[in-house]
Structure 1
Amino acid sequence: MSPDPSADEQAKRLLSIEEIRERAYDLWDRNHRPDGYELEFWLMAERELTAERRARSEQARLEL
């Protein structure tokens, strides 16, 4: 079964710029601070945070 796109959209709406910025910085730092990859780390951070939110939502729904 494919993931529900509306759940992904809801998770993305809940992310703040600050959360994404902090995660992107952490990813960049852990990867030895390469130059020129700002967008890649930003998108990676957004994907990770969205996946984490979605997993938490699904887990909470299953616990009901």
Structure 2
Amino acid sequence: MSSDPFIACAAETRIPHDAIRDRAYDLWDRHHRPDGYELEFWFMAERELKTERPASQTGNPVEMS
């Protein structure tokens, strides 16, 4: 793997916006629909989805050393 942080960022997992939106709505709804936390739920949803999806589903190659 490259030690260049810019290359690492470019290879970051890409999650479709509609999947993030749906997860964020679900999280917001389960937390009793608080006002003013849109970004927090968006980022929480994005983190959850990234950890759930293996690299093969997102198009990122898995490096073997």
Is the shorter-chain TM-score for this pair beyond 0.5, marking a shared fold? yes
CA-based RMSD of the aligned residues comes to 2.3
Aligned to 1:33: 33
Q: For structure 2, which runs of at least 5 residues remain unmatched after alignment?
A: 57-61
Distance 1:49 1:32 in 2: 21
Distance 2:49 2:31 in 1: 18
Aligned to 2:59: none
Query: Which structure dedicates a bigger proportion of its chain to helix?
Result: 1
Aligned to 2:23: 23
TM-score normalised according to structure 1 size: 0.66
Q: Does 1:45 align with 2:34?
A: no
Who wins on radius of gyration, i.e. which is larger? 2
